[in-house]
Structure 1
Amino acid sequence: MAAETPATRDAPWPVGVMSEKIAAWIERLGQVWIEGEVTQWQVRGGHVYGKLRDLTQDATVSFTVWRSVAQRLTSEFAQGDRVVALVKPNFWVKGGSLTVQVFELSHVGLGELLERLERLRRQLQAEGLFALERKKQLPFLPGLIGLVTGKDSDAEKDVIRNATLRWPGVKFKIHYAAVQGDRAAKEVAAGIAALDADTKVDVIIVARGGGDFQNLLPFSDEQVVRAAAAARAPIVSAIGHEADRPLLDEVADLRASTPTDAAKRVVPDVGEELAGIDQARSRMTGRLSQLLSHEADRISQLRARPALAMPDRIIDERAEELVRWVARGAELADRAIVDRASALAESRARLAALSPKATLERGYAIVQFAGDDHLGEVVRDPDHAPASTPLTVNVAGGRLGATSTGRL
């Protein structure tokens, strides 16, 4: 009766009646061919459970491939595949959910999302945004950590808890943003820009606790990637999904596998650092003690040497040696004077024997011109001094004036 009576405010239908009507209407649709993109593909007990997304609209439907159908599939399927499927819609009355049962499934090419992401990836890579030389080094101990994440999310709790456990004095500046849905990309990009504008922020973590391929799409959005690439502070991507790598992972200065991993890699462990300081102090103390001991041994060895143990003996030995060298020097000096005197006498005798004066003393004379024309020249040929030529005759006792009478 209720099913045939129109529902009114005073006579409403029970939920079950409405659900049954919906199920009956959907049942009449029968089998239809649909096209979409696989955004989730999970195999449990031989059955496949997944989601299919519309290629142009924001519409998604859950699907089921029973084991008998899955065994007949001739291709491998995964997230991002673009497919056509023969399905039959089913409305589950008890749970109030709509699913489609798949009877046939085939590929129709690379999924739109993956194709679009691949084009964007190639473009950004060509611009050099993924280059290793662009990546910035994280500070050893950041004074203030920026965190972009969902409000009251597990990712926020994991980052703060693990970072605080490692370094109790760590400080955070948090910017809450949607991490999935239409608003996510814009809010995440705005969060990165807002935190980067604060010069006190030393590093920025973008964190989300995983999710399926479709939920991670905002972290491959171009405005998010470019905001991360333009940031002054180093960016840490902590999306928490190993199977799918959003483009933010490629441009980030550090990719962490999970928010917990990001906290561990951004701040040092205070216990490890204190242990390292203790070890360094111990090594320094040991090395210094070894050095002092070595130097003390060297000083002891130096003090034991004769030069320091009995310095007077060295002075006495050197004094005796000095006296011997002084005596030897005096002897050599006297001998050198005698030798030089003998050599001087011999040189004087040779000089006297070769001197023109000695020749003159033996009765010879030297005749020179006395005239102005050849004054001082020696007369070597009689023809050079014709009659009446004034001459000077040099003998051992002095000089004589003379006049030539010509050749005899």
Structure 2
Amino acid sequence: MTFDFTDSVTFNTALSVAGLTDYIRLLLEQDEQLRQVWITGEVSSANHHRSGLFFTLQDPDGTAAIKCVAWNSQVAKLVQIPAVGEQIIILGSIRLYPQRGEYQLTVWQALPAGVGLQALRYQQLRNRLLAEGLFDPEKKRPLPPHPQTIAVVTSPTAAAWGDIQKTLKHRYPGLQVLFSPATVQGEQAPESIVRAIARVEKDGRAEVLILSRGGGAVEELACFNDERVVRAVAECSIPVITGIGHQRDESLVDLAADVCVHTPTAAAELVVPSLSELYVQHQQRIDALYDAVYEVRTSAVNQLQILRNRLQRVGLDRQVKQEMQKLGWKRQQLLQVTSQRSQQATQHLELLRQKLATLDPKAVLQRGYAVVRQENGAIARHATELTVGQELLVQLGQGEVKVKVMEVTTKTLKD
């Protein structure tokens, strides 16, 4: 079928978005059935706003949901204040919200209808896993203090992945990050997360695993209460830290993880130390060592002066020799202690210097590696980002060269 867009009838009969929305609004608001309708369902999320109470009502099986609002003038008249997990019966009318093109239920009254099925299932699963010991504090493992390889399980399109990369790069440059992508919302999410964790374990390089998502509505986080995901986290062979991004609710995955925080950024901050903080700590140790040496030296000088004063009062050669022997022994002891502490401090300083040297990007270039940048300055990380004929700037250990892409292949190196 073809349309002649030059036909004046088409332009004369076309509706604006506001016109169409207003037409639909009239249909909904003039419908006798929708002016006063009773609906029953389970509250999946609730948010108190300055203008009223906004919440979502859904069927127990999660197949359908509707947004609801009880304005402040009506909230005090409700028999039952909607709360997450509760089953309620609502009397209200359908209204259309033109700005977003969405319909919602304006609530007049809410009556209790018992505990929601979703909340009941959550509590039953929580109690069963708790009885099995999956949440025991004794099973929680500490995070490694200085991990060199970290695995991240999240969606490649989520803001959480970008936040984690940015935080890790800022706090601990040179860290190796293994990304295991997963779907973190919807029916396919539980199995996807389980497979992503299994890939990390099979790889065997990661010392700690971050499982994250950038928050969302309660009903969108259902995968983190799925028994398969909870068991995968509890049985993971390496420590797991979760940063799901929801502060008001605690998922079962949070209970099973070794450490849980509220945001992906917080997880990245907790999993690695800050290199600048390590340098400050090292400087503090050096200062403490200098203070200790100065204190020992001052004490020895004071003791030596005491002995000299005593020798001035006692003229016996035998006592002088004894005091000289004691002084020599203490001097030798002081030298040994000072030498040992100085040697330990030197070794620790050399270790930190070597670590800083390995993290220096210029040092990597001096070993024969190169950095390839596109014309806009972005680093080329994958061959699929490049095109034949594209000009690139290659940064070497000494100087730079400009090259042109002659051929692009997607073959990857294998270990």
Structures share a fold, TM > 0.5?
yes
Find the counterpart in structure 2 of residue 258 from structure 1: 263
Find the counterpart in structure 2 of residue 178 from structure 1: 183
State the Cα distance separating 1:23 from its structure 2 match: 4.4
Deviations 1:52-80 (A, max 9, x none): 11112421111222334323113332222
**Aligned partner of 2:120: which letter?**
E
State the Cα distance separating 1:211 from its structure 2 match: 1.7
Counterpart secondary structure, 1:123: helix
**Residue 141, structure 1, aligned to residue 154, structure 2:** no
Matched-pair contact (CA < 8 Å) for 1:75–1:106:
yes
Q: Following the alignment from structure 1 to structure 2, what is the Cα–Cα distance between the partners of residues 85 and 307?
A: 104
**Residue 275, structure 1, aligned to residue 286, structure 2:** no
Deviations 1:290-344 (A, max 9, x none): 3355557767849967237579xxxxxxxxxxxxxxxxxxxxxxxxxxxxxxxxx
State the Cα distance separating 1:18 from its structure 2 match: 6.2
Deviations 1:333-382 (A, max 9, x none): xxxxxxxxxxxxxxxxxxxxxxxxxxxxxxxxxxxxxxxxxxxxxxxxxx
**Aligned partner of 1:154: which letter?**
A
Do the aligned partners of residues 9 and 49 (structure 1) sit closer, same or farther apart at CA in structure 2, a change above 3 Å counting?
farther
Higher-Rg member (1/2): 1
Matched-pair contact (CA < 8 Å) for 2:79–2:109:
no
Do the aligned partners of residues 137 and 95 (structure 1) sit closer, same or farther apart at CA in structure 2, a change above 3 Å counting?
closer
Find the counterpart in structure 2 of residue 169 from structure 1: 174
State the Cα distance separating 1:237 from its structure 2 match: 0.9
Find the counterpart in structure 2 of residue 98 from structure 1: 103
Do the aligned partners of residues 14 and 116 (structure 1) sit closer, same or farther apart at CA in structure 2, a change above 3 Å counting?
farther
**Aligned partner of 1:307: which letter?**
R
Matched-pair contact (CA < 8 Å) for 2:81–2:110:
no
Q: Following the alignment from structure 1 to structure 2, what is the Cα–Cα distance between the partners of residues 79 and 298?
A: 73
**Residue 155, structure 1, aligned to residue 166, structure 2:** no
Q: Following the alignment from structure 1 to structure 2, what is the Cα–Cα distance between the partners of residues 310 and 226?
A: 76
**Aligned partner of 2:318: which letter?**
A
Deviates more, 1:56-65 or 1:86-95: 86-95
**Consecutive unaligned residues in structure 1, runs of 5 or more:** 1-7, 312-408
Find the counterpart in structure 2 of residue 354 from structure 1: none
Q: Following the alignment from structure 2 to structure 1, what is the Cα–Cα distance between the partners of residues 74 and 201?
A: 52
Deviates more, 1:242-251 or 1:28-37: 28-37
1:37-76 alignment to 2 at 5 Å? 37-76=42-81
Find the counterpart in structure 1 of residue 244 from structure 2: 239
**Aligned partner of 2:235: which letter?**
A
Deviates more, 1:40-49 or 1:21-30: 21-30
State the Cα distance separating 1:249 from its structure 2 match: 0.9
Counterpart secondary structure, 1:41: strand
Counterpart secondary structure, 1:272: helix
Do the aligned partners of residues 84 and 293 (structure 1) sit closer, same or farther apart at CA in structure 2, a change above 3 Å counting?
same
Do the aligned partners of residues 291 and 37 (structure 1) sit closer, same or farther apart at CA in structure 2, a change above 3 Å counting?
same
Choose the corresponding residue for 1:204, options 203, 209, 222: 209
CA RMSD across the alignment? 2.8
Matched-pair contact (CA < 8 Å) for 2:47–2:54:
yes
Q: Following the alignment from structure 1 to structure 2, what is the Cα–Cα distance between the partners of residues 9 and 90?
A: 35
Find the counterpart in structure 1 of residue 318 from structure 2: 307
Q: Following the alignment from structure 1 to structure 2, what is the Cα–Cα distance between the partners of residues 263 and 150?
A: 16
State the Cα distance separating 1:32 from its structure 2 match: 2.4
Do the aligned partners of residues 68 and 295 (structure 1) sit closer, same or farther apart at CA in structure 2, a change above 3 Å counting?
closer
Choose the corresponding residue for 2:219, options 198, 204, 214: 214
**Aligned partner of 2:56: which letter?**
K
State the Cα distance separating 1:236 from its structure 2 match: 0.3
Do the aligned partners of residues 293 and 45 (structure 1) sit closer, same or farther apart at CA in structure 2, a change above 3 Å counting?
closer
Q: Following the alignment from structure 2 to structure 1, what is the Cα–Cα distance between the partners of residues 51 and 22?
A: 30
Do the aligned partners of residues 14 and 182 (structure 1) sit closer, same or farther apart at CA in structure 2, a change above 3 Å counting?
farther
Deviations 1:171-226 (A, max 9, x none): 21112222222222221222122112222100001111222211121111111100
Q: Following the alignment from structure 2 to structure 1, what is the Cα–Cα distance between the partners of residues 321 and 233?
A: 78
Q: Following the alignment from structure 2 to structure 1, what is the Cα–Cα distance between the partners of residues 85 and 321?
A: 94
**Consecutive unaligned residues in structure 2, runs of 5 or more:** 323-415
Q: Following the alignment from structure 1 to structure 2, what is the Cα–Cα distance between the partners of residues 276 and 98?
A: 57
State the Cα distance separating 1:95 from its structure 2 match: 4.2
Find the counterpart in structure 2 of residue 190 from structure 1: 195
1:357-376 alignment to 2 at 5 Å? none
Deviates more, 1:28-37 or 1:91-100: 91-100
Counterpart secondary structure, 1:89: strand
Find the counterpart in structure 2 of residue 111 from structure 1: 116
Q: Following the alignment from structure 2 to structure 1, what is the Cα–Cα distance between the partners of residues 65 and 252?
A: 23
Do the aligned partners of residues 308 and 79 (structure 1) sit closer, same or farther apart at CA in structure 2, a change above 3 Å counting?
same
Q: Following the alignment from structure 2 to structure 1, what is the Cα–Cα distance between the partners of residues 163 and 25?
A: 43
Find the counterpart in structure 1 of residue 85 from structure 2: 80
Matched-pair contact (CA < 8 Å) for 1:46–1:70:
no
Do the aligned partners of residues 234 and 310 (structure 1) sit closer, same or farther apart at CA in structure 2, a change above 3 Å counting?
closer
Counterpart secondary structure, 2:291: helix
Q: Following the alignment from structure 2 to structure 1, what is the Cα–Cα distance between the partners of residues 256 and 279?
A: 34
Deviations 1:252-305 (A, max 9, x none): 100112112111111111122111111112222332343355557767849967
Count of residue pairs the alignment pairs up: 304
Do the aligned partners of residues 213 and 166 (structure 1) sit closer, same or farther apart at CA in structure 2, a change above 3 Å counting?
same
Matched-pair contact (CA < 8 Å) for 1:204–1:236:
yes
Do the aligned partners of residues 21 and 310 (structure 1) sit closer, same or farther apart at CA in structure 2, a change above 3 Å counting?
closer
